[in-house]
Amino acid sequence: MRSLFGNRRRAAEAPGGAEDAAPSERCTVQVRVLEARGLMPMDTGAFFGVGAADPYLVLQLGDRTHKTKKQKGTLEPVWEEEFSFRGVGEGQQLVVRCFDWDRFTSDDPMGQVVIPTLEMAGVPQWCALQPMAGCDQPRGELRLACHAMFPPDTAAALKVAMHRKKQQAAQALREREEREAAAAAAAAAADDDDDDDDASVQLTDAQLQAQR
C-alpha cells in the first residue's frame, strides 16, 4: 500500500502529472446568425415555381442545440438571430446544419459548417456549406459571427485574438476584391453602352446619306 501511494504521489509531482496538468479552459460562445446566400433550390415544380427553399439552421455545440426561425420561399435568407453556449471547452466545435423545411415530408439537409472554438474571433465570416449526411453537393454560404469569450490572459484567449487578426485581414482583402470586381463590371457595362451609342450614330449617318 505504501508503495502504491508513493507511486501516485511521485506521478502527481512529476512534470505533466496530475498537479501540473492544466484543465481545459472554458468559455461562453456567442453566435450571431446573420444571413445566407446562393442556397440550392429545394422546392421545385409547377406548385413552387422556378425553385426556392424554406431554410432554417440547427446549431450544435457539445450536447446543446439551438434552432433559428425558418425563412419562407427564399434562397437568400436573413435571420439576424443570436444564441449563446456556456461552459464550452477550447477543443470543441460548433456545427451549424442547414435544412429545408417541408410540411408533409422530412426536412431536407442542405449542408453544414463546422467552426472550432479557438477560431471564433467575433468577426462576421462567409462560410461555404460543406457536405453532410443526406447532402453530398451543397451550395451556398452562411454568414456567421462567432465569439468565444475565454478568461483574459489565458492561452486560449491569445489564440482567439490571433485568429481575429487573421480574419480581419482576410475580410479586408475580400471586400477590396469585391469592390474591384464591381468597379470592373461597371466599367465594362459603360463601355458596352458607349459602343451601342456609336453604332446608333453610325446608323443614323448611313440613313441620312441614303435619303440624299
Which is nearest to 40 in space by CA: 97, 98, 80?
A: 98
Contact 148, 27 (CB under 8 A): yes
Residue-level pLDDT at 10:
46
Residue 189 grid cell: 457595362
pLDDT tens profile 84-98: 999 999 999 999 999
Q: What is the pLDDT along the chain (212 residues), one digit of tens a residue?
A: 444 444 444 444 444 443 333 456 899 999 999 999 999 998 765 455 567 899 999 999 999 999 999 999 999 999 999 999 999 999 999 999 999 999 889 999 999 999 999 999 999 999 999 999 999 999 999 999 999 999 998 999 999 999 888 888 888 888 888 899 889 888 888 887 766 666 565 656 656 566 66
> Considering the entire predicted model, what is its pTM?
0.73
Residue-level pLDDT at 2:
47
Contact 80, 14 (CB under 8 A): no
What is the Cα–Cα distance from 9 to 21, expressed in whole angstroms?
Answer: 14
